[in-house]
A and B are shown apart, each in its own frame.
Chain A
Amino acid sequence: MKLLLRLALYVAAVLWCLLGVVLAGPPGVKEQPPALSTAELLGLARQTGKPIFIKADAEFNSLFQLTSASSSERAYDLFLIFTSLTERCPNCMSLHPTIELAASKLHTEQAAGDRKNTFIAVLDYADVPSIFRRVGVQTVPMMLYFGHKKPLEPVPFTVDSSSPIYVSLGNFLREQTGLAHFTLTPPPNYFRLGMTALVGLASVVLTVVFWRKFLTPVLRIGPLLGLGALFFSVYMLSGHMWNRIRKAPRSVAGSLISPGFQTQNVAETNAVAVIYALAALALLGLTVHIPSIPSGSFYKRRGFVLFYAVLLLVTTSVSFAIFRAKIGTYPLRLLF
């Protein structure tokens, strides 16, 4: 009974780790705002604190043009985001939450009716390809800040990989809008926090349960170094260096695997690393843990033997399955 409980704990911990990898992709965000005239667009933006989604050429023209009263001035600044919110542009997808955040932050910090108000307008290639052609946008995401005064020379904002996007975008907007205290801080990711807490909790529980029998020998320095080497090589073998050098996207539109030989994404390499590590731990359990169980506790040993054997078989099968999902023509399989 106690053994079964421990097995269940193990399985639960493994499942949690897997779930964390599978589910941690960014949620896709796409809004469908009703849009008509400039006034309505602005009104909506003021009301909701969301960026303006431009859905038609006419909207863009009316939003962008100068007011008739004074031809040298527009009533507001415009921050245009040329983007493509499909899986073909993972960078755009990962940028978008920050844009929404900036819009809502601007909404709360700017006094209503101020002439220097800034509005963020998002142009999705799927909606208005004609504008992209007219402006001559060649790469997305492209971000241009248009002040309200002439000359209408845009200030481009380029993503700089040296600092997080919300920091550099916050600094940029602070400079352009003149709001002295404008900064962007991302909302806490409760999902990830929860996952971390759960995984941490699971490890603590496992540590407490297995402390004396299993973990004490691990804590000796030699095996600890060995584990370090093991995880280092698993990290390397699961292609994480490729991710670092090529700056791989985290995941492409929520799907775990980017098919093909030459590309990969972070989520899939994480999954592979977890699979490899689990298989390696199963082998280690068989080679190191089982012999350390005293010969008296026969059923305990048999339980662990079966557990490790099944774990080995399942993880290796999964690695074949992932590889087959990647390379469609690959014929080999183990269990599934």
Chain B
Amino acid sequence: MSTSTMEQKPAAAAATLPDEASAALQRQKEQAQRSRLFVMRLVILGLIWLVAFGSRLFSVVRFESIIHEFDPWFNYRATRMLVNSSLDDFLNWFDHLAWYPLGRAVGGTVYPGLMLVSASIYRVLQAVNIPMDIRHICVFLAPVFSGATAVSTYLFTRELKDERAGLFAAAFIALAPGYSSRSVAGSYDNEAVAIFALQLTFFLWLRAQRTGSTLWSLACVASYWFMVASWGGYVFITNLIPLHVLAMVLLGRFNSRLHTAYSIFYVFGTLASMTVPFVNFQPVKTSEHMAALGMFVLLQGVAGLYTLRRLMSPAAFRRLLVAGGLAALVAGASALYVLRDTDLIRPWAGRFYSLWDTNYARVHLPIVASVSEHQPTTWTSFFFDLNLMTVFFPVGLFLCFRRFGDAHVFAILNGLTAVYFSAVMVRLVLTLAPIACVLSGYAVSHLLDYYLGGVFGPADSPAGTGHPPAVGTPVPAAAAAAEASATPTTEPTPTKAATIPAAAPAAGSPPGTLGLIDRVSVLLPLVLVLVVLHLHCIFVTSTSYSNPSVVLSASLGDSRMIIDDFRESYSWLRHNTPQDARIMSWWDYGYQISGFSNRTVLVDNNTWNNTHIATVGKAFAMDEANAFDVMVQNDVDYVLVVFGGLLGYSGDDINKFLWMVRIAQGVYPGDVTERAFFNSRGQFKVDETASPTMYNSLMFKLSYHRFYSTSVGKDRVRMVAPHSSISRDTPLASVEEVYTSSSWLVRIYRVREPDIFGRTVDERFSDFLPALKPPLAPVESVLPRLALSGAGER
């Protein structure tokens, strides 16, 4: 493969040839070789795109083209809103269906990038007369963008080494389960486009700081803008790039290109990010963004010092350095102190704080701790999401230290921070996956460079670390490595290449002398490992990350049964309740109810108001009479609970109940106590040993109401029969059952009218038992226990 990029002409090699004609011939040959390789790379990247797209379609093939999970439902609803109105309307959208009675100003509390992308695609297709439903665009957006992510990863990795490493990295990211978990078809979430923007921003940053070009820097700003508009994870970039600049300054690699790139990036990037309504003034006010500002100021100082050093005598410069350093330290510390005391800079946001102090979330933020995405990561999760990249990635890190160019410093910092954060919070494996793929590609390509070196003819002389590049042959990676002292356009001289530590061992053996056995004995295991890695990625994406979770499936021997209770119930709500009905459910189902049923909900997955969520938790946790009061106060018309006891669906509300209790206790410690929900032996039980608070709670009653009428008897999640207080003759006083889905997964109750005489529930219903309706047709007792491969996992 070629060792020179398109923009670097092999002038040095040609100049040494005496004969004009043969030089021309040589040039022509190289030209042909280059264009052949260019086409090949294009084809390979196209194939990688196809693989990335195709491997994410399992859910569409097995189920249908449907939006998955919870958050995507809100994004989908917002996109529909955007498509049906203008951008102005969208940014000013006040959603009165959510957070009753507060509502939610969506325009100012949402990252609009995802919706804008889908809406633009929709508009463009409309303009060229390709009518396509917006739902399909939303469903297939993530797979299409993962192909684009592969391309941006290719570009990023090319900055580290060369095209070969880039292609490997692209192939890795196309398949890595850590990324496909968030980008299968139907997973219409911010991350679907954000990872693409992340990789693209990194690539453009590396290009900008290498060339010092204003254009590349502005391109980086544009990409950063897109990232900010798409995902809250942009803070990672906001801190990583200043960290890179700081490392460069500390390594003594400050130069005017870095200065230009970062100054443009910071000034314009900050301005651009502030145009996103949700971000607003955060970039100049919160601590998360202060590192970038500090680095900007510092960089100007460093630039000034470098200029002064040129102008002053060394002794005077040293005096200035000491005095100025002390003054800057004092001034900076006092400024920070004043800013903090005047509350101009807010402290770290809670979710970010839990990254540093790992106990903080558990103690102070039950709502953060309750989300399984905020838990630390087990080694199985890493292996599941990265497979053997857990081995390739550290090796790539090590190799970066050997080469240690500017781009490598960036990759190292990126890798180390990402691996730490992902170990603390399982959700952030998503930010580790891209850099893990980059460095894995880097490592594997190094290996292949040496063990395949010289196999495909002399033109293929590789640029691996193991041996020095041939004199006079410009090697792009080596050029990048020697960038520290060289100007961007000059070629690296052999002396500069030789100064790279350990890059050229004196006694090195060229790969041409390797025997066939040596090559095969390395390549065979490597290929085996890569094949298994590939199989693993497909297996994981197919089995674990392609469940819509709105539709469940269970296997009955060799046939399959689709359990569509959620959509059944949401559809019932849509068709059988008044337009303005207010529905109370745990917050997990808020987005789906407003998305499917178009009804008002009290709380949803936005979780911005802890008190409101705690109120709902309190209603579920208290006994009927008190819960009735809470529900009446909040104008609740219908209550929806998810109950998996008949089906064996472990992600139901009873299993989430303790979190509701904990969150409610955080706000209403007088009304709800977690301890009271444990029985005398300290266990959380629903059977005969359940505590009175537990079996009197609204949640328990709503879940197990009329459970006796099924022939199952035992709860198939908890594997016990529920407490006998739920027996044939106990009707519910505060609510009445209006709908139960076919597998009992969703149960909907109507809240009874408040008494016009102002009597409490107890007074009203103590001597009045409403006539019991005949039990519904008994549910088939042979309902399958769900094969929960991934349904309750994430």
Contacts and interface: CB of A to CB of B under 8 A. Distances in A.
Interface of A: 136, 138-139, 217, 220, 222-223, 225-227, 229-234, 236-242, 244-246, 261-264, 268-269, 272, 276, 279-280, 283-284, 286-288, 290-295, 298, 301-302, 305-306, 308-310, 312-313, 315-316, 319-320, 323, 326-327, 331-332, 334
A241 B424 contact: yes
Interface residues of B, number: 71
Given A226-B400, A245-B424, A309-B522, A138 B388 contact: no
A263 to B, nearest CB: 7
Contacts of A327: 380
The 6 A-B residue pairs whose C-beta atoms are closest, nearest first, are: A291-B466, A226-B401, A239-B379, A138-B682, A295-B509, A241-B423
Nearest to A231: B394
B450 A291 contact: yes
A283 B447 contact: yes
Contacts of A237: 379, 382, 386, 390, 393-394, 419, 423
Nearest to A139: B682
Given A237-B423, A287-B450, A280 B528 contact: no
A231 B681 CA distance: 44
A227 B400 CA distance: 11
B493 interface: no
B529 interface: yes
Contact of A232 (B416, B502, B505): B416
Nearest to B389: A237
Contacts of A283: 391-392, 395, 443, 447
B382 A223 contact: no
B213 interface: no
B616 to A, nearest CB: 27
B403 to A, nearest CB: 9
Contact of A276 (B376, B394, B682): B394
B394 A331 contact: no
Nearest to A281: B395
A279 B521 contact: no
A245 B395 CA distance: 27
Contact of B529 (A244, A264, A291, A316): A316
24 contacts: A217-B502, A222-B502, A226-B402, A229-B401, A229-B416, A233-B415, A236-B420, A237-B382, A238-B382, A244-B358, A245-B359, A245-B376, A262-B378, A264-B378, A280-B398, A287-B450, A287-B465, A288-B465, A290-B466, A291-B509, A291-B511, A309-B525, A316-B391, A334-B528
B92 to A, nearest CB: 42
A291 B419 contact: no
Contact of B539 (A225, A269, A294, A331): A331
Contacts of A238: 379, 382, 390
Given A261-B793, A291-B464, A323-B380, A223 B515 contact: no
Contacts of A239: 377-382, 423
B419 A232 contact: yes
Interface in B102-145: none
A240 B511 CA distance: 39
Contacts of A313: 525, 528-529
Nearest to A295: B509
Nearest to A261: B380
A328 to B, nearest CB: 12
Among B380, B382, B394, chain A packs the most CB atoms within 10 A around the CB of: B394
B450 A290 contact: yes
A229 B513 CA distance: 32
B424 A292 contact: no
A290 B790 CA distance: 44
